[in-house]
Structure 1
Amino acid sequence: MLRVHFSGPDLARVRIAARPDVLWETVLSFHRLRDRRSDATLSNWRNETRARLNGETRVLAPLVPTRGYFPDFLTPGEGLLGLGEALEAVRATPAERVHAEVSRLPAVRPLPSWVQALRDGEAAPLGRLSTALRNYYEAAVAPYWPHLRARIEADRAARGRALLDGGADSLLASLPPTMRWRPPVLEVDYPADRDLHLGGRGLLLLPSFFCRGMPVTFQDPDLTPVLVYPVERTPARPATAPAPSHSLGRLVGRTRSAILQGIGGGCTTSELARRVDVSLASASQHATVLRDAGLLFTLRHGSAVLHTLTPLGAALLRGQAPEVGAETGTHLGPPPPREPAPGQEKGAGEPVCCP
């Protein structure tokens, strides 16, 4: 179990990440890729991703073992800014930190020569690692970014509502069952027995699509405290827009258009009813139809539910009333497979659990 100890200043500095972190999603998706446990929600993703990989798994596997610890420098804070900034931060990791963190890897088998060179402070291996991370991200994460971003934003909306309704105490109490708020300690299901004292630094809560099971945090307690936790698990939507269905055929008329527009950044059913000026029962019925059509996500928040738009719902809404500078949320489908480079082979590693 991980015990996160809060002081008064820490409660004032609890925050929710504003967006998904590209490298946390990349590294954790690498765990999911090699996880052979039954998980129907990711089976298509695994098959599609494996078909696009050109040997990146062989580069990354020594640094991201099938179980337990992986170096903290693989997930710098710049991951919230975008892939370019994140990889630049990885390449700029001081040699002494790389040496210390790579040396903590379990000595199950000898490290490849390039990882030994990385540990010994040579600069070229960081470039090789950065290239592998970029290529793996483009194959495994980028094609699915709109979907995972929507799931994370839905979770963020639920946590934000808890924070608005009851402050940091309510926010921490609203977290998934793997985390239990017993003031002033947050108890977290974790593979090792640890205590993390925040010491006035606060805590960044980072919802993650590819984190499954137990939450994750840095090994080094001196780094900015981050707690990565899994968003609610629901069956994944298809990569492309679904074919016309009975539910979509029912999606006509001004009321449901008003429902989509009224959701905004997220709202409860009762708030939606007030915004659209319909009864609570009518708002609930329309929201159910929209959810069945793949246009809404619904998360439970206490005794209420919170509705947010899916990428398809946001795209449909923008098609009705385009907004200047609106961010594209449609899913364009996966890119074509890359041809393997000479001597490289496609493949995956062994079963893994989230560290």
Structure 2
Amino acid sequence: MSPSRFSTDVYARRLQAAATATAQAGLAGLVITPGYDLRYLVGSRAQTFERLTALVLPAEGDPAIVVPRLELASLKESAITELGVAVRDWVDGDDPYRLVAAALGGGVNKTAVTDSMPALHLLPLADVLGAVPVLATDVLRRLRMIKDAAEIDALRKAGEAIDRVHQRVPEFLVPGRTEADVAADIAEAIVAEGHSEVAFIIVGSGPHGADPHHECSDRELRAGDIVVVDIGGAYEPGYHSDSTRTYSIGEPDLQVAHRYSVLQRAQRAAVEAVRPGVTAAQVDAAARDVLAAEGLADAFVHRTGHGIGLSVHEEPYIVAGNDLPLEEGMAFSIEPGIYFPGRWGARIEDIVIVTADGALPVNNRPHELMVV
């Protein structure tokens, strides 16, 4: 097995589950172009070009992949060959959209496509099918939200790796160094600690910490700064880490310390609220209610969390109004934050996996405001 993907059995189960879900949705089949859905189903990291590559998964019958002949080599990294998926290659001058229609068999007017399919391919496919396909999101959503054992193991390894990076962060936070200097050190550490690539780095010092999506800048760190460090990367076979810790360069003042302690309680309350049957909105409320009780409701300006897996942000979203009941195997962040524009901000983030009776955090670094 390639280190960049799971065993063939894992992908075989996913293809069968996707075909079953497709039939239950009353669809003739799915058409999946390169992206996270294709990677989930067959382990392929193929890219989208002007020439069509598409996995065709009929509700009944055998799957096939339509691929330009000059891209055949790209299938070697996937599980396509071992899975026995029929390869229907084509050359310039052929019509690949008619190959897709043929692979779907009957009922081509009831077809779903991955939501990342470019219009470049969607429009000619719709023309050949005689109908605009629907999105496959509803068919694949639950499959990707409920992580299997292999995915959970990958997320745990990614979490352990990013914890090791956070353990090293205090040595980088030296007054006089810039946020960009710190980010460069963190990027090296993310790869050194086992990730295949860096996904994002936020180093928000002082007033920059009040911007939840600040990245890094040439601002120099100063004594007294509160510093938000939110980092993550891809860990083979492509599952992501994402963890935030907040640091203080020197002892914080009493107000900062008190407000941070409230944030700690809010994050803990949300984690403790996680269990099967509880809704995503209820988990969001668990964090929000703690902050509101201390007069900090307006300081929390974003959702409590997002799902994670092959994509850094995916379903389920832990946000007010989302009445989706949690299920065992779901994985998402718990990351309440408080932000005071022009002054400072703080956030605490762990990835958790829903278990039969609660939540399993994959991040286990201390949650206290780390004084460096």
TM-score for both structures, normalised by structure 2: 0.31
Give 1 or 2: higher strand fraction.
Answer: 2
Give 1 or 2: higher helix fraction.
Answer: 1
Question: Which has the bigger relative contact order, CA under 8 A and spacing at least 6?
Answer: 1
